[in-house]
Amino acid sequence: MKTTILSVLSAMFVGISTSYATDLPSPKAFISDVIDQNKVSADQTALKINQLSELGYQEVQSAHTLSNHLAQQGFTVKSGVANIPTAFVASYGSGKPVIGFIAEFDALPGFSQQATAQRKTIEHQHNGQACGHHLLGTAAAEAAIAVKAYMDKHNIEGTLKVFGSPAEEGGGGKVYLSRAGLIQGVDVVLNWHPASFNDSNPINNLANFSGKFRFKGRSAHAAAAPELGRSALDAVESMNFMVNAMREHVDQGSRIHYVITNGGKAPNVVPDFAEVYYYARHNNPEIARQTWERIENAAKGAALGTETQVEIEITNATFSLLPNHLLSKLVHDNLTLVGGVTYDQDEVKFAEELQQSFNYEVPSVKSANDINPYDASGEIYYVSSDVGDISWNAPTNWLNVATWVPGTAPHSWQAVAAGSMSIGLKGMNVAAKTMAFSALDLLLDDKKVDAIYAEFVKARGEDFHYQPLVKDRAPPLDYRK
């Protein structure tokens, strides 16, 4: 039944085109035609991963769907890399240059949503693709498949690698791919992300430490024998108070946030266990690390003051993005060539209706077709991503494409809704063509590759040696369980 639904949905989108220029150079016209010819299978793949909406490190079917799609197109797939069952590398070709594509597919908990302009959950489904990773991974695969077709036709030397990257949402899958040396030898990595606008700029973002603080105390009857108890919840609250007081005395660019994931079970029982989950971020990885150490000290102080014990687990730690101006500009030029996303009448109606659910000012729905001007200033995005670790191992870009209605916030039900229908699939098509065009430019011009790599080496420093911030911890395969 699922296959039938997906086939019907995909058939509805046949003939949808993006607003790319009609006078494409011959190689890029070929690439564009291949992506359009593969649109039905691409849409089916994305919609299936969307329907699965599996959480980080649990994306067994999603990873298989995407890797099998690549294998059917002639890629050699190695699964279970970096000691992660749902990670894979799909490779094609030989020799230089080596061009990588990042593919994600994990969903977020609590975002079940139908492809409607009103909030409507899907029965018996809790998770949703609120960050559009079903589109992200599929577009990366489609770009690589199209470039492979051109390589085959013209006997072009080079290597393509699609990195199946699980658990971007807090699990740090790419950190472990980087630590395992899978990015070594890659000349350029092409990366994109779903958004509500279109641009490609050399951005910065935030390095991130995250982890869980588990306090263990002693239970007792809260009324009859409170003196015998030692409250783990008191320890969590004491820690939180100290961290909140610390906010006044951290670097202005820092971000600290937490949730209490376990605060006890009953008010009349002194909790013998409590847990709080923290994030600490900063654009400078060293400042993020120092802030995290201060948070750890607050936890230790709280344990001492409440006569409890604390166990600290760093679940994830990622570098900030290392921007590359030459690569970003090359991708921007190709994005401009492809063009943005043009809505038909039904999509305009859907978008305008969806925008009514926002309680803030929103841009025109027509702005989904706009390409933002190139901005080399190095804007900071106040988000974190394990793409940061990739970017310190190989030159990496950050491309945004409008798969969501303009004004949509990431990690929202509105993002799930638009990403589940033609608007999201159109944006995916734009992203695939932009990355494929960019990869083709690199394959056909060694000088571009050399210049991009030279900028990368200069930016990170000649003596830089990558050391993951998570050190030697194993991938947190159960962090979403």
Supply the CATH number for residue 222's domain.
3.30.70.360
The DSSP call for residue 227 is G
Name residue 88's beta-bridge partners.
79, 164
Q: Contact at 8 Å (CB) between 417 and 113?
A: yes
Q: Among the three residues 318, 353, 376, which one is the final residue of a domain in this structure?
A: 318
Are 42 and 166 part of one and the same domain?
yes
Are 330 and 352 part of one and the same domain?
yes
Q: What is the pLDDT of residue 23?
A: 66
The DSSP call for residue 15 is T
Q: What is the CATH number of the domain that holds 33?
A: 3.40.630.10
Report pTM: 0.90
Q: Contact at 8 Å (CB) between 388 and 460?
A: no
Peptide bond into 97 cis (omega under 30): yes
Q: Among the three residues 264, 295, 318, which one is the final residue of a domain in this structure?
A: 318
CA distances from 216 to 225, 376, 463, 481 (A): 18, 50, 44, 20
pLDDT in tens, 156-215: 999 999 999 999 998 999 999 999 999 999 999 999 999 999 999 999 999 999 999 999
* Confidence label for 481 from pLDDT (cuts 50, 70 and 90): confident
Coil, helix or strand at residue 246: helix
First and final CA of the chain: distance in angstroms? Answer: 29
Are 152 and 239 part of one and the same domain?
no
Within 10 angstroms of residue 289's Cβ, the number of other Cβ atoms is 15
pLDDT in tens, 65-100: 999 999 999 999 999 999 999 999 999 999 999 999
Are 188 and 60 part of one and the same domain?
yes
Name the percent of the chain lying above pLDDT 70.
95
Are 33 and 115 part of one and the same domain?
yes
Q: What is the pLDDT of residue 330?
A: 98
Are 105 and 73 part of one and the same domain?
yes
Q: What is the pLDDT of residue 14?
A: 39
**Which residue type, as a one-letter code, is found at position 64?**
H
Q: What is the pLDDT of residue 181?
A: 98
Work out the widest C-alpha separation in the chain, in whole angstroms: 83
Are 192 and 128 part of one and the same domain?
yes
